[in-house]
Amino acid sequence: MNPGSTEAIFQLSLPGGTPGEDVLGLWQTTTAPAQAELAFASPGEPAPLTVEDVAVVWRVNLPFDTRLAGAALQQQQAALRLANQDLAAAQIRLEAFASGQPPGSDLPVQSFGIEQVDFAAPEAELAGWLAPSQGIMSFALGISLPQDWQDSAQEALDFFSKVRQMLAHYAYVESSAGESPTGRTAVSWAGDFETLWQRGLSADQLLLHSKSVELALASRQAWVKMAMLVTQGAALFGLLSSTGNPLMIPAVYKFIRQVMEQYREIRRVQAITA
């Protein structure tokens, strides 16, 4: 195998259109033709896993050195755990907002290195989006709307489109070591696995591919969790509001993104000042 680069690359391939971004901040996104061939099959040999209807392909290119590869996977798994924690925090803040509690009232905000008003910025913007003056009539007339409502609405639509793609198709996961293919796995929603292995792999490389599959599936589950949180939050505000507001879904989507980005920035600042 080719030792290749020592850099780990985690890539999420989406069919057609613009790649957008990974809401978890873990995967590089790119586009791929809906009927593209997956990366490797031995020359002259048919691939045992058909990809005619593949919508989403998760690719993990790890360093050839298994120690470095294992460390890269562990780092990515830790980042995914933090993303899930951020989603849980966003849910708590959504529920607190709905009940009228001030954001961050139970958190040592000063230890984050930011002011209370800055910490509450996502809640303040959410309140503006959901204000009665921005109900269905204002939307229809095109007045009193948030300045970036079109961009935010499109981002929310794109996000749910990606989630639908993930739910509609098998999960395909490819791994490479030093840019040389190691394994390719298709996972059905019934939980059936089918894997094509490169010949001559070590036990460590087999394990690294399995962990790559686990990472991809856990990432997909986090996307689904976020989609559920957005729809649940929009439904909650719909019940609390007497005025129909077509911006509830993009408003909640943007709020969750802002909260997640806020906690990432907090961790970045803490790492610098530690």
Is the Cβ–Cβ distance between 146 and 129 less than 8 Å?
A: yes
Using CA of residue 135, residue 223, residue 13, residue 3, what is the dihedral sign? positive
Cα 178 to Cα 11: distance, rounded to the nearest angstrom: 15
Please report the pLDDT score of residue 150 as a whole number: 82
Q: Confidence band (pLDDT; 50, 70, 90) for 183?
A: very high
Query: CA of 224: how far to CAs of 94, 164, 177, 229, in Å?
Result: 18, 9, 29, 9
Any idea what the Cα angle at residue 204 is, between residues 200 and 209, rounded to 5°? Answer: 85
What would the pLDDT profile of 74-112 be if each residue is shown by its tens digit? 999 999 999 999 999 999 999 999 888 876 655 544 455
Please report the pLDDT score of residue 5 as a whole number: 64
Domain count, the chain: 1
Share of the chain above pLDDT 90, in %: 41
Number of Cβ atoms within 10 Å of the Cβ of 233: 24
Q: Is residue 2 part of a domain?
A: no
* Predicted model pTM: 0.82
Q: Confidence band (pLDDT; 50, 70, 90) for 151?
A: confident
Q: Is residue 1 part of a domain?
A: no
The DSSP secondary structure of 100-148, one letter per residue, reads TPPTTTTS-GGGGTS-HHHHTHHHHHHHHHT-GGGSHHHHHHT-S--TT
Please report the pLDDT score of residue 168 as a whole number: 79
**Which of 113, 230, 103, 210 has the alpha carbon at shortest distance from 162?**
230
Q: Confidence band (pLDDT; 50, 70, 90) for 117?
A: low
Q: Is residue 188 part of a domain?
A: yes
Is the Cβ–Cβ distance between 15 and 34 less than 8 Å?
A: yes
Q: Is residue 231 part of a domain?
A: yes
Please report the pLDDT score of residue 203 as a whole number: 93
Cα 151 to Cα 226: distance, rounded to the nearest angstrom: 19
Cα 96 to Cα 101: distance, rounded to the nearest angstrom: 5
Q: Confidence band (pLDDT; 50, 70, 90) for 193?
A: confident
Q: Is residue 3 part of a domain?
A: no
Query: CA of 72: how far to CAs of 106, 162, 245, 263, 270, in Å?
Result: 34, 26, 44, 22, 22
Please report the pLDDT score of residue 267 as a whole number: 87
Q: Confidence band (pLDDT; 50, 70, 90) for 239?
A: confident
What would the pLDDT profile of 20-68 be if each residue is shown by its tens digit? 788 999 999 887 654 444 444 444 444 444 444 456 889 999 999 999 9
Q: Is residue 109 part of a domain?
A: yes
Residue 153 structural domain: 9-273
Q: Is residue 243 part of a domain?
A: yes
Beta strand 57-62 pairing with 171-177: parallel
Cα 189 to Cα 192: distance, rounded to the nearest angstrom: 7
Please report the pLDDT score of residue 41 as a whole number: 46
Please report the pLDDT score of residue 47 as a whole number: 47
Q: Is residue 4 part of a domain?
A: no
